[in-house]
Amino acid sequence: MTDANQSSPRSGPQDIVDSKIVPAQQLYSELKQIPVFAHIKPADLECLGDVEVVEMEPGSFLLREGEANFHFWVLLQGEIRAYKVESDRTVHPIATLKSGDTFGEVPILIGSKATSVNSEVITPSRLISISREGFWRLMATCPVVRQGILENMARRLESYQAITLHREKLISLGTLAAGLMHELNNPGAAARRAASQLRDNLFRLQQISLKFTHADLTPTQMECMRNLQERILSCKKAPAMSSIEQSDAEEELSEWLENAGVENAWKMAPSLVAIGWKPCDIECAQHEFSPELFSDSLNWLEALISSVQHVAAIEESVARVTDLVIAVKKYAYDDKISQQGVDIHDSIQSTLTILGHKFRNKQLTVEKDFAPELPIVVSGGSGLSQVWTNLLDNAIDASPEKGAITVKTWVDGPIVCVSIADEGPGIAAASRSHIFEPFFTTKPVGVGTGLGLDIVHRIVVGQYRGAVTFTSEPGRTVFLVQLPVGKRA
């Protein structure tokens, strides 16, 4: 054993300003002020023998991420910051330790191979360093201290898990927000384009209408224009055609219009074909008008057709935005009601809507096999949208490009069943028993937190008294969620 107050070489932090070895009993009065050691007696410190007292300056490190030289620390004076650097180089704070705190027991107790956090000195600090061997002697021979250390560890793990769960929710929220921006951008851009083209059409209509004011139209010509206009305004969407059929119809009509001397024939043909018009539908107008007036009349009609189509596009875009808002509201208020009846299909569809951009990015097909008249699930629980989000997000990540994800619902007695299947490589046999454990992930470092399926399990089992299971093989993984129907309170 080293003599008191003797300096000694060590394998701990390299940023130490001063270090000395002293008998633990010599620090009895100071240790009594530390909550973990508050109930010790002088004799309890005999097991420690000599300990190291170190002094460190701001900016120095007790331990850096990836190092494995663990000690149990008692902070007699000063302040230390523990933080983690994420894969994107953002700093994630873990804890701020102040005088009277003890730390370092968690990695020793759980047998960590290396630390995942950095411990940086913030203010001039004085600490007691207890080696791994000394820590285990303390735990084995001093029940009072052992109890305090274990209680401290439990609180610390609980706090860290709460922080990580909160971070998982923020990540999920960020994913949904990004998805919502993608979803809103598409109809927004479509509506903007349609509005711009509608403005151009209004100018064209105005210009051609002014030309008509200088033409002496006969009652027959006016009647012909009125009939064609009524057909446009009352026309339903033409039957869908294949790409080849559409191309042939446009080419035929374009040639007919060019032969008739119509200006912008190539531009006009697609709009006329879109409402199902053929040459025979406008031959009557050709006989009633002079070539110049015939061209102006068809350009006026085309501008009207295009305007009606753009108004429909704007309506569809606004409806899409409205659907997204409704989906987000349903998602956001999913856990705001203490006793609620949940429409499973509605809940799944809202999540599919919000995650739509992720399906499109990988060109994935969603196959829905929904049971008719699925019972309403009633529970005081919440968060089913979070369940579908995590399961679908995992399925998307696992799926190959242009793959398919199948969502199926059915009823099995008093149980509502929902399965989500993907065509990914499957879950490795060695990972299957750990799949619902918190912090376990098969994704690359920095991609997953390992809490998604833990959250799914806690919501389904803990809040809905249901079950969640899975089967997996190469090319097909299926997660099955079973929820009891329940009755309203």
47 and 134 fall within a common domain: yes
Residue 397 CB-half CA count within 13 A: 14
Listed residue (169, 173, 172, 151) closest to 161, CA to CA:
169
Model confidence, pTM: 0.44
For residues 67 and 101, membership in a common domain is answered with: yes
Among the candidates 118, 141, 164, a domain finishes at: 141
Smallest CA-to-CA distance from 482 within 465, 339, 348 is with 465
Domain presence at residue 287 = yes
Instruction: Tell me, yes or no, whether 439 and 415 share the same domain.
Output: yes
Residue 159 is assigned to a structural domain of this protein: no
Amino acid residing at 244: I
- Which of 78, 112, 141 is a domain's end point? 141
Answer yes or no: do 206 and 102 share one domain. Answer: no
- How many C-beta atoms lie closer than 10 Å to residue 432's C-beta? 13
Do 120 and 184 fall within a single domain? Answer: no
Q: Running DSSP on this structure, what letter comes out for residue 6? A: B
Q: Which residues pair with 74 in a beta bridge?
A: 102, 128
Mark whether 313 and 346 lie in a shared domain.
no
Q: What CATH number did the domain enclosing 473 receive?
A: 3.30.565.10
Q: Tokens representing 470?
A: 């899975």
Query: Looking at the structure, do residues 311 and 347 belong to the same domain, yes or no?
Result: no
Q: Which of 294, 323, 352 is the last residue of a domain?
A: 323
Classify residue 460: in a domain, yes or no: yes
Q: Domain range spanning residue 236?
A: 178-323
Is residue 61 in a domain? yes
Q: Which token pair is 153? A: 């560890």
Measured between alpha carbons, how far is 73 from 105 in angstroms, rounded to an integer? 8
Digitized pLDDT (tens) for each residue of the chain, 489 residues in all: 334 344 443 444 556 667 899 888 888 888 888 888 888 888 878 777 788 899 999 999 988 888 878 889 999 999 999 888 877 777 878 888 999 998 888 888 878 788 878 899 999 999 999 888 888 888 888 887 888 888 888 887 777 767 766 666 666 666 667 666 766 776 777 788 889 889 988 998 888 888 878 777 788 888 888 888 887 777 666 666 666 877 888 888 888 888 888 888 888 888 888 887 888 878 777 777 888 888 888 888 888 888 888 888 788 778 767 776 776 666 555 555 455 677 888 888 878 877 777 888 899 999 999 988 888 887 655 578 778 988 998 899 899 999 999 999 999 999 999 999 999 999 888 888 878 876 666 665 444 555 678 878 888 888 788 999 999 999 999 999 999 886 433
Say what the pLDDT of residue 403 is. Answer: 93
Residues 305, 367 share a domain: no
Q: Is residue 148 part of a domain?
A: no
- Check residue 471 and give its pLDDT: 94
354 within domain boundaries: yes
Query: How many whole angstroms separate alpha carbon 72 and alpha carbon 312?
Result: 70
| Counted domains in the chain | 3
Compute the radius of gyration of the chain from its Cα atoms.
36
Residues contacting residue 87 through CB under 8 Å, at least 6 positions apart: 445, 446
319 and 341 in one domain?
A: no
Domain contains 331: no
Distances (CA, A) of 83 to 57, 80, 90, 163, 407: 18, 10, 10, 12, 40
Check whether residue 293 and residue 365 sit in a common domain. Answer: no
Contact predicate 124/100, CB 8 Å = no
Task: Provide the pLDDT for residue 489.
Answer: 33
CATH number for the domain harbouring residue 30: 2.60.120.10
| Pair (120, 190) in one structural domain | no
Q: For the residues of 269-330, what is the DSSP string, one character each?
A: HHHHHHTT--HHHHHHHHHHS-HHHHHHHHHHHHHHHHHHHHHHHHHHHHHHHHHHHHHHHH
Whether residue 240 sits in one domain with residue 206: yes
Task: Report yes or no on 172 lying in a domain.
Answer: no
